[in-house]
Structure formats: C-alpha cells, structure tokens
Amino acid sequence: MSVQQSDPIAEQPDPRPITPLSDPFDVALRVPGSKSLTNRHLVLAALARGTTVLEHPLRADDCDRLCTALARIGARVRREADRAVIEGTGGRFPCGGTIDLGDGGTPSRFMIAAALLAAAPVTIDGSPRMRERPVAEGLHLIRQLGASVQSLGAEDHLPVRITPPARCRGGVVDAPAMRSGQFVSALMLVAPWLDDGIHIRLRGGVTSPSYIELSAAALRERGAVVDLALDAPEPFVRVAPGPVVGDGTVAIEPDASSAAYFAVAAAIHRASHVTLIGLPRTSIQPDAAVLGIVERAGAVVESGGDGPVPWTRVSHRAGPRPLSFDASRFPDGALACAALAARATGPTRIDGLHTLVHKESDRLAALSSELARIGIRTKTAGDSIEIDPGAAHPHPAVIETWNDHRIAMTFAVIGLVRPGISIRDPGCVAKSYPGFWSDLDRLVER
C-alpha cells in the first residue's frame, strides 16, 4: 500500500485518455483540503481580529480567488506551503475594490455578503457562466440590510456594484424560497460583526440545510453563538453579535467531495481498496454521506484513527447493487454516485437534485448528455435522475466536461473500469483539485 500526497496539476493532453485498471489497487492518499471549509474559514479569519493559521487549506482556483478578493478589500493573506496565514481586519474591511471570482459560485456569494462590511463600494464579477448563475436572492438579502446594489449588466446578475451602508446593523431578514443556500451561509459568516447579529427567517423553506449546518459548525468552532431551527414549522437561523476567536490555528479536513470519487473507484473495481487519510467517517462535510451510499451498494467501509490522524477505508466486496436514495443533503456528492450507478447491476434513482441545474453547469443535463455517449440511458423528472446502465456499450467516447470539474471527475472514474473514455478539457479540475489526475494515475501505476 503506497501513501503519497497530491501533486500540482500537470500539463494534460486534451482530450485526456483514461487508462483502465487491469489489476486491483490498494492505495492510501490524502486528498486536498475541503473547499467548503476552506472558504468558510477564510471569510471568518479575514474578519476576525488577530492572525489565523489554516492548516491543509485547499489550494485551487475557487479558494485562491477568494483569497485574492479578501486581500483586495483589506485582509492580509499569505500562503506558506500547506497552510494559509490570514491577518484579520477586526470586523471591517478597510477598503473596497473590483474583484473577479471567475467560476467561483461560493466565493461570489460569500463576497456579496462580505461587501456589507467594506469601507467603500465593492464591484463583483465572474466568468460568463457565473454571470448566468443566480445571485438575485443574495442581493435581495443585503438590500434588506441597507446595501445599495447597482447591476452593471443583466439585472440582478453579476457584475454588480455594492455600496455598503455607513453602518450595517443586521437584525431580522426574510429569506424567500432560494435556489442556493449559500446566501444564508454568507450572511451567517458576517453576522458576528453586525451590531444586532442576524436573524434569518426562512420563509420559503430550507435549501441545502447540510451546508447551513456546516457554516454553523465553522462559526461555533471560532466561538460564535449560533441557533438553528431548520426543521421547525417556521425555520430560522440566528447568529448573535460578538467576538470571534482570531488568533489560533484551524485544521481543514480533506475534501469529502473529492474523496468521494476515490471511494467510488474502490467500490466499482474488484478486490480494490482505498484508504482516505485524514477523513473521518463522522465528518460533518455533507458529501461524506457518499460513504454510506457506497456501503449500501455493496462496498465495505471502515474507519479509525483515535490518534491525531483519522482515516476511512473503502473496499470492494460486491456489486455495486442499484439503489434509490435522496441526495438533497449532499447534491455535489450525487455526481460521484452517478459513477457508481453507471456500473450498478440495475437502474439507480437519485432524488433531491433541484440545485444541480444552477452549478458550474446544468449537471442534470450534463450527466444525461455524457452518459448517453457511452450508451447509458437516463431519465430526468423534476429534481430526480434515473440511471440505467443496461444498454452501455464499449465504443470509444470523448466526454465533454461542460467546464465542470465534477463532470470530469465522474467520467474519469467510470473510465477506470470502462475502456475507451477520454476527457475533454481536463484542466477544469483545477477549480477544486489540481492534483486529481496525478492521484487518479496512482490507482493505475503502482
């Protein structure tokens, strides 16, 4: 069993052929840090007073752009090997500026809220795809808190110029039905520095509750007081005003979303094993739920690490058998589950995917289109997809990634057990996992 670290992304052929596995593998690896946790702790550290050290943060396009954005409006961010050092601003960014978040959905939405605490207007822009993605809900929320918003392109889409109020007091905010729960998380992250904190009444129900809970956990880790009632008849989120611990070190878990692909790779290839170093089975990251799905499908999932370094080990045993499940609490992980379904012994149905159409691509459309290239039938209805591998064929196929890192990873994993797959635009994985191709090759080159 080999234990290695991820390498920076290397120059890849385009399209990139996937080498099928010929033998079982037994590999241990530590995937990069959690994107969700890195982004949340970057915002908290940038607003706190003092210096925060993040250990094992994700170094990828999304997080790098958020670091640049926070530095542009006054935080000091320094990268040192496998850590980030952030000198906070004490609750008020000293300047404004123009920032480009590229394809970063989470960074864009977090910066919309962060602009409330800037000393000058902040202009937020992104890629053509990000200009299409919904931000109107977040703009509606910050208008309730006194911000002035000027659309510089299409109404209520990026780019926007946000002029913060002279003093943002916070208080009660009504949130209508939302296509993204990231706007709720964004307000939660800035709430401790608002005079009255924040009380968000979720009038339209709760979108992505698991990620709201992740934000609450990050806030509590830094000493904030958070009250959630997501299952109540009148759900709400409340974050009290007050100091957040600044000086100190925060260890970022490995990214469960990225680890899920290697868990699936082990689950679909005979006699194979992967040990995910640093990732506890009990991780609060939503996509850790994929471990339970691969177990239900027939794999063996073990965990340990009572010492300083936890681990989770996934081993092929049988199947994968077809399943039916709701992925509303781990929608990003549903992409890895689609790779599992593509090798199942019958049709799999995945429900709860209403947020996927608003991601880096329309992921339901992307899955249907690209699975069809390898003969796998799909049926989408509302927020569900049924994947039937019964008519899969062995003919060569070039997979279009739709500029979406998760689509690339999904079909790369399928390509380990289905010959003839090549991945167009392999560099798109840099958004969340620059070393993905190097780590994937470790399963083949042992």
- Superfamily (CATH H level) for 2-33+256-444: Enolpyruvate transferase domain (3.65.10.10)
End-to-end Cα, the chain, rounded Å: 9
User: Which pLDDT value is given to residue 360?
Assistant: 87
Crossing angle of helices 405-415/333-341, nearest 10°?
30
User: Which pLDDT value is given to residue 306?
Assistant: 59
Residue 169: is its pLDDT beyond 70? yes
For residue 177, name the pLDDT band (cuts at 50, 70, 90).
confident
Do 109 and 355 touch, CB atoms closer than 8 A?
no
224-235 pLDDT, tens digit per residue, is 999 999 999 999
Phi, psi of 255 (to 5 degrees): -75, 115
Do 180 and 204 touch, CB atoms closer than 8 A?
no
Which overall architecture, per CATH, does domain 35-239 show?
Answer: Alpha-beta prism (3.65)
The single-letter DSSP state of residue 404 is -
Q: How far is CA 86 from CA 39, 41, 92, 246, 433, in A?
A: 12, 10, 14, 9, 22
Q: Is 226 helix (H, G, I), strand (E, B) or coil?
A: strand
User: Which pLDDT value is given to residue 430?
Assistant: 93
User: Which pLDDT value is given to residue 446?
Assistant: 67
Average pLDDT of every residue of the chain: 94
User: Which pLDDT value is given to residue 3?
Assistant: 36
User: Which pLDDT value is given to residue 233?
Assistant: 94
Residue 138: is its pLDDT beyond 70? yes
Average pLDDT for 131-150: 94
d(CA 323, CA 23): 27
237-268 pLDDT, tens digit per residue, is 999 999 898 889 999 999 999 999 999 999 99
Average pLDDT for 427-441: 95
CB atoms within 10 A of CB 357: 15
| Burial of 364 from C-beta contacts in 10 A (0-12 / 13-18 / 19+) | buried
362-398 pLDDT, tens digit per residue, is 999 999 999 999 999 999 999 999 999 999 999 999 9
Average pLDDT for 199-225: 94
Q: What is the largest CA-CA distance in the chain?
A: 64
Nearest to 219 by CA among 207, 231, 228, 230: 228
User: Which pLDDT value is given to residue 10?
Assistant: 53
User: Which pLDDT value is given to residue 394?
Assistant: 92
Q: Is the pTM of this model over 0.75?
A: yes
β-bridge pairing 226-229 and 160-163: unpaired
User: Which pLDDT value is given to residue 322?
Assistant: 97
Do 46 and 57 touch, CB atoms closer than 8 A?
no
For residue 1, name the pLDDT band (cuts at 50, 70, 90).
very low
CB atoms within 10 A of CB 11: 7
Q: How far is CA 90 from CA 49, 53, 74, 78, 392, in A?
A: 4, 16, 11, 17, 57
Which distant-in-sequence residues (6+ apart) come within 8 Å of 66 by Cβ? 39, 42, 43, 101, 104, 106, 107, 110, 111
CB atoms within 10 A of CB 281: 18
Nearest to 356 by CA among 377, 327, 378: 327
Residues labelled as active-site residues: 332
Segments of the chain assigned to CATH 3.65.10.10: 2-33+256-444, 35-239
Q: What is the DSSP string of 57-101?
A: ---SHHHHHHHHHHHHTT-EEEEETTEEEEE--TT-BS--EEEE-
Residue 404: is its pLDDT beyond 90? yes
Residue 305: is its pLDDT beyond 80? no
User: Which pLDDT value is given to residue 148?
Assistant: 97
Nearest to 93 by CA among 118, 60, 63: 118
Residue 4: is its pLDDT beyond 70? no
The single-letter DSSP state of residue 354 is T
Tell me what percent of the residues of the chain surpass a pLDDT of 70: 97
36-83 pLDDT, tens digit per residue, is 999 999 999 999 999 999 999 999 999 999 999 999 999 999 998 899
Average pLDDT for 335-342: 98
